[in-house]
A and B are shown apart, each in its own frame.
Chain A
Amino acid sequence: MDTAYLSRPHEEQAGGANPLVSVRNVSKRFGNGTLAVHDVNLNLGAGEFISLLGPSGCGKSTLLRMIAGLGSPSSGTIEWPTTGRDATGEPQRDLGFVFQDPTLMPWATALANVMMPLTLKGVRKSEARDRAAAMLALVGLAGFEKSYPRELSGGMKMRVSIARGLVLRPKILLMDEPFAALDEITRHRLNDDLIELWWKEKFTAVFVTHSVFESVYLSKRIVVMAARPGRVMADLDVDAPYPRDELFRTSPEYAHLCRVVSGKLKEAIGS
């Protein structure tokens, strides 16, 4: 069963020869002196499902936000080799972002929330409405277009948030512990649906989590991070085939992979 995963030194260029995002020697020091991220090198390849796994304080969220362009690195660069730059020299990041909370506008319906990125990009209203409705249907919320966030459950709100993240059909979807606040049953359902969505829509997924089980279940590749200072400890491939389902979740192979990744995480915490 040892062939089910493959460990490799993280200097090696994972993510293919032509990555979507290339993180080079990135460090981030906050104003209060905390070194949140230390010398991280990471390539995000097209079509990958990558989990950033680590204990709290390992800088995984900070790294994700920097990739999104929210806060810039103190040193090092984050490059988007395949996209152009806008007038201000910023790379034209083609991404969607899903926060830990659904972060919906409470005054707007589910449909209006999903329409917002299109509206901000100047897409015509009728077209935006159709595209947003199609995206809501894709995440399993057809019929809830007119519901307000207040009327939706936690899991449904998160679905709206994912629909909003995907409505522009971005190359890459960044997710910051999106399911951490949900109960186990809802989380499993959303994990299944997220895999299916990723499989169908072929975007690159970057998923921040502190759950070993979630990361193994979802990912093609797991980047294990350690805290104080936040750094990459291990970069593992998960070679189990997709589509993955309940059968995979209960397989000995899954249990084995979880044990291996757990060991790596323990190493990272102990270091």
Chain B
Amino acid sequence: MSAPPSETYAPPHDGTDAEALPIFATEPRILGLPAGAWPRILAPLAIGVLALALWEFAVRWNGIPAYVLPGPLLVGETLVADWGTLSGSLWITLKITFMALAAAVIVGVTLAVLFTQSKWLEMSLLPYAVILQVTPIVAIAPLIIIWAGDIDLSLLICAWIVAFFPILSNTILGLNSADHNLVNLFQLYGATRWQTMRYLKLPAALPYFLAGLKVSGGLALIGAVVAEFVAGTGGSASGLAYRILESGYQLKIPRVFAALLMISLSGVAIFLVTSWISHLLLRRWHESALKREN
């Protein structure tokens, strides 16, 4: 093979390739991050610090008692002081979230693949998936808790119900969005159903699936928290929602805020992780992940 193309490599034939090569233009970096990324980090951070300062100031100026509205410093102190209990609860909530998300991915993708193989299956089952999605989880959670018996299992089921539909519907859309001519080409070469699925439809569905995953990641957390609120007290090991309820009853409002903060940060972390996975998988080829000069 000849030498790989470099920045100055002139394509051998087409004189019209000016736009062909320099997509991955290098940007100057500051402290390891591209220079363009800093404002995106610093601007919201500045707003956040400002808001927290105002909050702290307002609480102190007006002498608002901690059981009505604790200042951010007190919330931070509580977070550190109660880290033992809170981190245990966080772990339980996250475990349910990730198990529910994993189940949502497995069931959502499997159903989507089955639905695209059989129109009958899709026609018969999709309406029920929609019903499951549109029924408010708080309304059916008590029933699920009664039926499942085990509290952890029922929380898992609730979170899964909330999380799985975006993955299902997005993956169905993605599987059906493979280029029609490519489908014809596979047909021409006598590709089996499995080959068409493996080499064409699943890769074509990947960006759609990942978009669904980003939504479902947050929803799984919400589902886990909401279900635990409905379940109320659970045995010895309890998640963050239970801590919030418990602290509310005891008027330990700073702890409510601390738990709330942990839930929000977990949600943000899940979003960042799923976005990062999506970026890694799509950066070489998908429009959404490519940088454009104009």
Which A residues fall within an 8 A CB radius of B? 65, 68-70, 93, 95, 97, 99, 101, 103, 105-108, 116-117, 119-121, 133, 137, 140-156, 159, 183, 185-186, 189-190, 193
Contacts of B195 in A (CB 8 A): 119-120
Which B residues fall within an 8 A CB radius of A? 1-5, 9, 11-17, 19-21, 23, 179, 181-182, 184-191, 195, 199-200, 203-204, 206, 284-287, 290
Residue pairs across A and B with Cβ atoms less than 8 A apart, 18 shown, are A68-B188, A70-B184, A97-B184, A105-B199, A106-B285, A116-B189, A120-B186, A120-B189, A120-B199, A140-B13, A143-B9, A150-B285, A151-B20, A152-B20, A154-B16, A186-B14, A186-B15, A193-B13
Which of A107, A146, A189, A190 interacts with B4 by CB under 8 Å? A146
**Are A107's CB and B206's CB within 8 A?**
yes
Contacts of A106 in B (CB 8 A): 285-286
With A and B bound together, what is the CA distance between A119 and B284 in angstroms?
22
Contacts of A185 in B (CB 8 A): 14-16
- Considering only CB atoms, which chain A residue lies closest to B180 in the complex? A103
**Are B4's CB and A153's CB within 8 A?**
no
- Considering only CB atoms, which chain A residue lies closest to B19 in the complex? A153
With A and B bound together, what is the CA distance between A67 and B14 in angstroms?
31
- Considering only CB atoms, which chain B residue lies closest to A146 in the complex? B4
- Considering only CB atoms, which chain A residue lies closest to B290 in the complex? A150
Contacts of A154 in B (CB 8 A): 16
Contacts of B286 in A (CB 8 A): 106-107
Contacts of A147 in B (CB 8 A): 5
Whether A120 touches B9, Cβ cut-off 8 Å, given contacts A105-B200, A142-B2, is: no
**Besides the known contacts A107-B284, A107-B285, A120-B191, 12 further A-B residue pairs in the complex with CB atoms under 8 A apart:** A95-B188, A101-B181, A105-B199, A116-B189, A116-B199, A120-B199, A143-B3, A143-B4, A148-B284, A150-B284, A151-B21, A185-B14
Contacts of A103 in B (CB 8 A): 179, 181-182, 185
Which of A68, A140, A149 interacts with B12 by CB under 8 Å? A140
With A and B bound together, what is the CA distance between A133 and B2 in angstroms?
11
Contacts of A105 in B (CB 8 A): 182, 199-200, 203
- Considering only CB atoms, which chain A residue lies closest to B5 in the complex? A143
**Are B17's CB and A151's CB within 8 A?**
no
